[in-house]
Amino acid sequence: MNQIFATHHVDPSRISNVVHVNEKGLRIMVDDNLVRQLPEGQDMIVDISETIDSDGSTPSTVGSAIDIRLTF
């Protein structure tokens, strides 16, 4: 995760969720165990987006929370 933060210049304190989306679209929370099981050099797509408020809108606050989606 630290490498993603450094590569994409993301403040780790803004992260609300890090999920892996499998081939069936199932969202799986990323934790240390999942990261340990990844093969060395695993290619992945990192999608960084603003979180969505309960009313479906994107917060306009600078520094608002973001979601990170990993597809591999």
pLDDT score of 63 more than 70 = no
- Predicted pLDDT of residue 59: 53
Percent of the chain with pLDDT over 90: 6
- Predicted pLDDT of residue 62: 58
Q: For residue 36, what are the domain limits?
A: 2-71
pLDDT score of 35 more than 80 = yes
Structural contact between residues 65 and 51, judged by C-beta atoms closer than 8 angstroms: yes
pLDDT score of 34 more than 70 = yes
pLDDT score of 45 more than 60 = yes
Q: How many domains does the chain have?
A: 1
- Other beta carbons within 10 angstroms of residue 64's beta carbon come to 13
| Average pLDDT of the chain to the nearest whole number | 80
